[in-house]
A and B are shown apart, each in its own frame.
Chain A
Amino acid sequence: MQSDTADNVRAALGRRGRWGWGEVAFWLVAAATLVFLPERHLILNEIAIIGLFALSLDLILGYAGIVSLGHAAFFGLGAYAAGILAKNGIGDPLLGLGVAALAAAILGFVTSFLVLRGSDLTKLMVTLGVALVLGELANQMSWLTGGADGLQGITMGPILGLFEFDIFGTVAYAYSLVVTFVLFVIARRIVVSPYGLSLRSIRDNPLRARAVGIPVNRRLVAVYTLAAAYAGVAGALLAQTTQFVSLDVLAFHRSADVMLVLVIGGVGYLYGGLIGAVFFKVLQDVLSAWTPQYWQFWIGLILVLLVLAGRERLTDRVRALRPRSRRGLATDKARPLPTTTAREV
């Protein structure tokens, strides 16, 4: 009896760490696009980068409940760090990623202390403010960043000394996809770890989290720093694969877009950012080809409808209220994506 329960407990706890078929299929399809969609590699590269950026936002928003309207600060800093490094003759891509991650992590660590105090509204304003300040700094320091003209003259070396970037974007896409995959695997591991569980507990009920001995602030500082590093890597990937950085990387719309991407795909669910990035980018691509002047109108309309129709997906709390036995039926009815385990990942 005792050992039965123990086995069940072990199985139930282990279940969250295991990969589902859907997940394997997702990454196989992603890998297959490297071979089967050669003419789409430029946009796929962007999708991978935005997906990673959204994944980074999900780490703080979906798993720790920290709202941010200025996540582009880290993306932009990473992009400039990698760009400036490469412009000054240090063109090794992986080194650039490392430097970008470090720079963004430091900024994340420092600003986390501002962000962690106060209400959600305070958080929105502080994150927004940090991004605006950074944007203006980049604008003013044109000797370093190129200012409004952008950072030009970036030349990248080959990845690992072996793979040169090509004009079709194939190597660039493969590079972004591999980096995104590696960081995804790490994030996936983190969210099912005791540390990840403590983040979810803080998001659900910080009062109780403290009462079981969790140092809430320290955990939030850690995840904010980590998410900043992820965003920095995403920015660096953009700088390296497009070999150009403009003030656009720090613009408000980047922070807003990544929030939209995450809302489209689903918050608190690591695939949400990736799937949202695919939808967002494809939608943008199709609409701007169809109606170049008014595509933003349509994308706005679609987003409003999507959020209204699927607003349950904004939080997984609604799902949480549904009894396990009935959840299966409900999934058949309305939900295209989530199964219980994948949703928690």
Chain B
Amino acid sequence: MAAALETRGLVKRFGGLVATDNVTFRLEQGARHALIGPNGAGKTTFINLLTGVLAPTSGQILLEGQDITRLRPELRVQRGLARTFQINQLFPAMTPLETLGLAVSERMGGGHDWWRVIGSKREIVDEIVEIAERFRLTDVLDERTANLAYGKQRLLEIAVAFACRPRVLLLDEPAAGVPEAERHELLATVAALPRDVSVLLIEHDMDLVFSFADRISVLVNGGLFTEGSVEEVSTDPRVRAVYLGESVDE
């Protein structure tokens, strides 16, 4: 079976700097895979290459076996590759309801529908409700996004990506900055993501990585340093040396 997402010899150079260094990587179907690495390891560049914000210098990206290396970002989303952002990228003046309605109707191909009111289709409404319940947003659907508690905004950040019905979901530090009190809710919804969605988690928080992931890849200086199961990586002395030492041993 083709990997959910795969890169082959992916390279990105910025002038003399090699930000992504020959990364060959597989995200298996239904995987819960974490990508970790010290600051500046090139995690963000890697995500931007996967989503099409940046074009690679060389190498290939395959989504479910199909080459998407040259595909525009929005077409990758339509093929089933969605992401969340480390820093919230929401629509502050819109309500969560409108935001989800937008994402759902875009996915159903109604985005250029200029005549109907957005809520007039039953399947759109049903899906908004389903997503709102999954991400515990039902009680704030009609608030302005800018007014939501940070934890709720974080949930919405993931809900919007989920509303694109991705086959592959890239979560970029989903728990970043969420206060302790709202953290549990967020982690629970991330853990409850359906298994048919393959998830690549980019994270600093080792608790979240260990509780969520079944495989871990370590990125150092733009290249894949090692990859393995949670036990393998967490007990690998070289990984501890470059990265985990400071956050696990204390």
Q: Which A residues contact B (CB, under 8 angstroms)?
A: 2, 5-6, 8-10, 12-14, 16-17, 189-190, 192-198, 200-201, 204-205, 207-208, 210-216, 219, 222, 316-317, 320-321, 323-324
Q: How far is the CA of A304 from the CA of B119 in the complex (A)?
A: 41
Other-chain residue from B74, B103, B106, B114 in contact with A190 (beta carbon distance below 8 A): B114
The answer to whether A5 touches B106 (Cβ under 8 A) is no
Evaluate whether A204 and B106 lie within 8 angstroms (CB atoms) in the complex, with A12-B141, A17-B117, A324-B147 already known: no
The docked-state distance in angstroms from the alpha carbon of A63 to that of B250 is: 52
B117/A8 in contact, CB under 8 A: no
Whether B51 pairs with A198 at a CB distance below 8 angstroms is no
Contact indicator A205/B89 (Cβ below 8 Å) = yes
- Chosen A-B contacts, 30 in total, with CB atoms closer than 8 Å, are A9-B97, A9-B128, A9-B132, A13-B98, A13-B119, A13-B125, A14-B117, A190-B115, A193-B113, A193-B115, A194-B102, A194-B112, A194-B114, A200-B91, A200-B93, A201-B102, A204-B93, A207-B85, A208-B90, A208-B160, A212-B82, A213-B78, A214-B106, A222-B112, A320-B144, A321-B146, A321-B147, A323-B143, A324-B143, A324-B144
Cross-chain contact B118 with A13 (CB below 8 angstroms): yes
Cα distance A215–B75 in the bound complex, in angstroms: 8
B residues in contact with A205, CB < 8 Å: 89-92
Contact of B119 among A14, A198, A201, A207 (CB under 8 A): A14
Residue B94 at the chain A interface, CB threshold 8 Å:
yes
- CB-nearest residue of chain B relative to A326? B147
Q: Are A196 and B92 in contact (CB under 8 A)?
A: no
Q: Are A195 and B119 in touch, CB under 8 angstroms?
A: no
Q: What is the CA–CA distance of A200 and B106 in the complex, to the nearest angstrom?
A: 14
A13 touches B101 (CB 8 A): yes
CA distance A193 to B119 in the complex (A): 9
- Mask for B52-78, Cβ within 8 A of A = 1, else 0? 000000000000000000001111011
A211 touches B94 (CB 8 A): no
Chain A nearest CB, measured from B120 CB (Å): 8
Q: How far is the CA of A49 from the CA of B73 in the complex (A)?
A: 41
Please state if A208 and B147 are interface contacts (CB–CB under 8 Å). Answer: no
Q: A327 to nearest B CB, angstroms?
A: 9
Interface residues of B in 156-184 (CB under 8 A from A): 160-161, 163-164
- How near does chain A come to B154, taking the closest CB pair, in angstroms? 14
In addition to A5-B138, A201-B91, 9 A-B residue pairs with Cβ atoms within 8 Å of each other are: A9-B119, A16-B117, A193-B114, A200-B93, A207-B89, A208-B89, A214-B74, A215-B74, A320-B92
- The interface residues of chain B lying within 8 Å CB-to-CB of A200 are 91, 93-94
Residues of B contacting A204 in the complex (Cβ-Cβ under 8 angstroms): 91-94
Residue among A216, A316, A320 having the largest count of chain B Cβ atoms under 10 Å: A320
- How far apart are A182's CB and chain B's nearest CB, in angstroms? 14
Tell me if A197 and B78 are in contact (CB < 8 A): no
Q: Please, how many angstroms separate the alpha-carbon atoms of A323 and B140 in the complex?
A: 12
Are B103 and A212 in contact, with the CB atoms below 8 A? yes
A198 contacts across to B, CB distance below 8 A: 102, 106, 111
Given the known A-B contacts A205-B90, A321-B147, are A194 and B105 also in contact in the complex, defined by CB atoms under 8 Å? yes
Least CB distance, A207 to chain B, in whole angstroms? 6
CA distance A214 to B94 in the complex (A): 16
Q: Residues of A contacting B205 with CB < 8 Å?
A: none
Bound together, the chains give a CA A93 to CA B7 distance in angstroms of 61
Residue of B at shortest CB range from A6?
Answer: B129
Residues of A within 8 A of B101 (CB): 13, 194, 197
